Copies of this chain bind each other. A is one copy, B any other.
């Protein structure tokens, strides 16, 4: 069979990793695919930059969009990034022209995924995006193929390595968020503008993609409730430990009686569950299937090697003839089933209040919670300091998010409460 011809658009660390991997494992891949995989063209904005890899064997294309109409290219590998602009133009034009696409672009898919899927169905091409979710962890393949016989009840996990690194580093060092963010930036684990990572937006992109695959619905980024980890204080991490939990930024999609819930926010998870031990820049995803039960995948969620591994796996699939619908069923069969608002969440909560230490404060707070039918599990108040501000920390039994929000609003309005209440949802995951 003739070789599969690739155009690689975008030559950042991942693009260079893909070139390196395809070159280094050329013979192995011929053996595994029954045909060669040839890079024929590459393109990026800056031709002059030294990328540490010899690009002279490949045709250079200044405007990556030209790859879409290039008859010498079978598969366009989009590693440019961004939900609009060149990346979107290139992917849509490539699909439209009957070219297969492999992309690592989670933002693009989270915003335009359903439209791309419909175009891919119409053109009969394969759009691979394993690299868009959880880096080197083959979760799209596991969900779409390995567990294809299951109805999925829930898919959840740690989908942002930057946030997980910071939470881990805060726990290990006791240092505040800003310091550990700066360290993550020094180590290359966080970008100069970290908003998308620490604010939960990146995890939301990935969750929206996984939820579409799992629940047969159009990609619904707007339906994802998003909170980041910026507000987590060292004392919250210390209290979590005392209560037997760790704090993780989790992304959770699940089917419940009110519809499909999609949410990204810090969670306290029990120390003995599958999520708590996943530290540092690692990602973890758990799929709960009705026949398979819970299946967990853990690995590196970012970096040149792991991301290249996922890109090349998609290329191998195409070389071997895979032609699957992007979100596991044809785009025309993605049904906009109802989404459940975060207000519908029913679960336990951790609450930290900063209060002025004076008589009656706890009584006032307790009365508000009681009136909201919220029952307290544990309550900690340490280091009494009459007249000064001290933390009061509690965990609740299961309660409705709507009731909790109402109660917290009333608590925040108390004279003796000096800061907005800090809450972290507790998930038995």
- List residues of A whose CB falls within 8 A of some B CB: 17, 21-22, 25, 28-29, 31-32, 34, 130, 136-138, 141-142, 145-151, 216, 272, 274, 277, 289-300, 305-306, 308-310, 312-313, 315-317, 320-325, 328-330, 333
Contact = CB atoms under 8 A, between A and B. Distances in A.
A309 B292 contact: yes
A136 B312 contact: no
A216 to B, nearest CB: 7
Q: Is the interface of A mostly helix, strand, loop or mixed?
A: mixed
A308 B291 contact: yes
Contact of A149 (B292, B316, B329): B316
Given A142-B142, A277-B277, A149 B291 contact: no
Nearest to A323: B321
A274 B298 contact: yes
A305 B317 contact: no
Contacts of A31: 216, 329-330, 333
Contact of A145 (B21, B216, B292, B313): B313
A312 B148 contact: yes
Copies in the complex: 2
B138 A147 contact: yes
Given A130-B146, A145-B313, A149-B29, A297 B297 contact: yes
A293 B138 contact: no
A404 to B, nearest CB: 31
B299 A149 contact: no
A31 B17 CA distance: 36
Given A296-B299, A300-B293, A329-B31, A138 B149 contact: no
A222 to B, nearest CB: 24
A125 to B, nearest CB: 15
Contacts of A310: 146, 292
Given A138-B142, A141-B142, A293 B305 contact: yes
Contacts of A147: 136, 138, 309, 313
Q: 7 nearest interchain CB pairs?
A: A138-B146, A149-B312, A136-B292, A295-B299, A292-B309, A291-B305, A291-B309
Contacts of A145: 138, 141, 145, 313, 316-317
A294 B282 CA distance: 10
A295 B146 contact: no
Nearest to A315: B149
Contacts of A289: 136, 309
B333 A291 contact: no
Contacts of A21: 149, 291
Given A292-B300, A320-B324, 8 more contacts: A22-B149, A28-B151, A141-B142, A142-B297, A145-B145, A149-B308, A274-B277, A295-B298
